[in-house]
Amino acid sequence: MKTIDKADEAQLFDTIDRWIEREVAPRVKEFDHADKWPAEIVEQMKELGLFGATISPEYGGLGLPATTYAEIVMRISSVWMAITGIFNSHLMLALAVEKFGTPRQKERWLPRFATGEIRGGLALTEPDAGTDLQSIRMVAKRDGNDGYVINGTKTWISNGIEGHCFAMLVKTDPEANPRHTGMSLFITPKGPGFTVGRKLEKLGYKSIDSGELVFEDYRIPADHLIGEVEGLGFAQVAGGLELGRINVASRGVGIAEGALRLATSYSQMRKTFGKPICEHQAIQLKLGEMATRARAARLLTLDAAAIFDRGERCDMEAGMAKYFASEAALENSIESMRIHGAYGYSKEYDIERLYRDAPLTCIGEGTNEMQRIIIARQLIKRNPIS
């Protein structure tokens, strides 16, 4: 079980808070409105160690427990959610290698992941396969005894354009039954046969690049197969989705808390009928609901993270956290915008960005419709009738 000294944790949070205040908050609009890659901020995140946040110190990472990592994501997301995706997607790649890779793979890749020298993400989604990962069509065929040839397309891949390397799910046995037994996960650095397609334009979640990855006779050594055993890819991906959902939940908490903070501040400054609008009962009802949603989302997320840190299965708890926190983000951003009135619709105010970013949390790492199904199935499985 990963742990961190409370004094060290407090110092880390203080460092993150000061960085957000001095470097991130003043430049959010500049990057977000232009949908510009935040190169300077990415370099600062490298210096802070965020690209190695959950990687073991044995490989040069910070080795943070999920609870501490979740808190960091919450704090950053309350100001600018998009940049958390730059290092979270990368850490999903690192988790796959650290959890399932061979000793040689870990020694080769993890130190360079931890420093951010090599950055990347997780490549799962295809044009006709999103939630149903077993429907992917990308195929890796053996090329003699020492490699594979991969063909196909991935889409909506975070860090796809600016990243260097990806953990990519493919089919090594398209005829396997059940289908998941024919899926494998590869470490795929950019190179010949690997091209980046168009950058995908989005409503929100700006500045982090979402792209199409195209593979045409892309050749890769056999030692890039994570674990060097075929057919384990689906299980390897599923093993990392719990942390991914905790991360998305943390983003939702950040947006929910950020929207609440903006609404609370604005409602004390804006006056109507001779008094601040926070004194009007209609606004108080909204603030009360927003505060409760944000608090409940935070507690659900930290609960799931604590279970993850204990090494216990937490797909139900992570699903609950992701579902509730993302819906809280959506609701709080809308209510905060309504409290701001016409100003909330203006790009001069930060709430419009939170409003645009919030829907992503309801979709990313599995839709909320899927989360509810996962929750229900686990609930039934854990409580069978005698």
Residues annotated as part of the active site: 365
> How far is residue 265's CA from residue 263's CA, in Å, rounded to a whole number?
5
CA atoms within 13 A of residue 380's CA, in its CB half-sphere: 5
CA dihedral 133, 137, 138, 143 (to 10 degrees): 120
> How far is residue 235's CA from residue 221's CA, in Å, rounded to a whole number?
22
Token pair, residue 377, equals 């199935």
Do the strands 165-171 and 120-123 form a parallel or antiparallel pair, or are they unpaired? Answer: parallel
**What does each C-alpha distance from 57 to 12, 90, 115, 130, 269 come to in angstroms?**
16, 17, 11, 34, 47
Helix, strand or coil for residue 203? coil
Token pair, residue 146, equals 């020492």
Helix, strand or coil for residue 127? coil
226: amino acid identity, one letter: I
DSSP 8-class letter at 200: P
